Amino acid sequence: MATATGICFLRTSLFQTFSFTSKPHSVTLFDNKVHSFHLRAANIEGSEIEGKEEVSISEKKRIFVAGATGSTGKRIVEQLLAKGFAVKAGVLDIDKAKSILSGPNPDLQIVKADVTEGSARLADAIGNDSDAVICATGFRRSLDFLAPWKVDNFGTVNLVEACRTLGVKRFILISSILVNGAEMGQLFNPAYVFLNVLGLTLVAKLQAEQYIRRSGINYTIVRPGGLRNDPPQGNIVMEQEDTLYEGSISRDQVAEVAVEALLHPESHYKVVEIVARTDAPKRSFEELFGSIKQH
């Protein structure tokens, strides 16, 4: 257990080296929320409501979130609901999910979904009514040295396969900066070294990313810097893949980027690296995603 605790400390603290002053990020005004969602939801590839300005509640886009009880996953669920999406929360523990996720909500469904249990079971969990999948899983700390490989690589691959089976065309992955550290000259970056010593975590994530990119699915891979639980401090900086090797960002902003990716076609088939900086200018998501090249 002591080892696991040490692993936990290293896994989180190595990234968390920068602090910023508080500045909340943009929010959607409640009065405009539903109308705004209707118009913007048409941007999701394969939308059945393209061109329509009014849809009923039952036609809300439904997003499956894997790892929905996680520190980032729960924020993604909250933000999706706030922006007018319906959510299917994929979790390991239903009771835990009920205590973590916002109370009874007709737009929130909680389903059991262990990404290591194979694509067929995941396809059952995702179901025929999900329009997109957001993956916010991360291996549970344990003494299982293979856990990162099982969850962060094969688990994500299973999710993509489930999407292919079901015809779900949109996939958002929360990955990490430095996954390709070896290629970008960061082989000896302490974060790269330690995270890989702890079960080849970053290598596992990179393998999953490569699988997604070969799969043909419309992806947005979001690679955040060190994750912080405190509210946003500074504006989002978004860079090309294999660019950022330090910095941190609030999980609220990571969730926001994942949700906004669903609303902006500029994010399609892209890998984006994100941190927050107090000296960065505030940019719209069109600008941020639009500044990233497709590969």
Ligand X SMILES: NC(=O)c1ccc[n+]([C@@H]2O[C@H](COP(=O)([O-])OP(=O)(O)OC[C@H]3O[C@@H](n4cnc5c(N)ncnc54)[C@H](OP(=O)(O)O)[C@@H]3O)[C@@H](O)[C@H]2O)c1
By CB under 6 A, name the binding residues for ligand X. 11-12, 15, 66-67, 69-73, 92-93, 96, 113-116, 136-140, 151, 155, 174, 176, 224, 226-227, 251
For ligand X, the nearest residue by Cβ is 70
Minimum Å distance from CB 137 to ligand X?
4
What residues have CB less than 8 Å from 102, skipping those under 6 apart? 77, 78, 81, 108
**Backbone phi and psi for residue 272, each to the nearest 5 degrees, phi listed first:** -125, 135
Smaller CB distance to ligand X: residue 125 or 262? Answer: 125
Smaller CB distance to ligand X: residue 42 or 122? Answer: 122
Q: Distance between CA 224 and CA 70 in Å, rounded?
A: 15
Minimum Å distance from CB 167 to ligand X?
22
Phi-psi region of 289 (alpha: psi -120 to 50; beta: other; left: phi over 0): alpha
Minimum Å distance from CB 286 to ligand X?
24
Q: How many CA atoms lie within 13 A of 13 on its CB side?
A: 6
Smaller CB distance to ligand X: residue 28 or 116? Answer: 116
Smaller CB distance to ligand X: residue 153 or 267? Answer: 153
Minimum Å distance from CB 30 to ligand X?
27
Smaller CB distance to ligand X: residue 83 or 141? Answer: 141
Q: Distance between CA 237 and CA 271 in Å, rounded?
A: 14
Of 278, 288, 282, 259, the closest CA to residue 75 belongs to 259
Using the structure block, give the residue that is written with the tokens 């996954």: 179
Minimum Å distance from CB 73 to ligand X?
5
The 8-class DSSP code of residue 47 comes to -
Tokens coding 212: 């997604």
Minimum Å distance from CB 3 to ligand X?
17
Element (H, E) at 95: helix 94-100
Smaller CB distance to ligand X: residue 72 or 267? Answer: 72
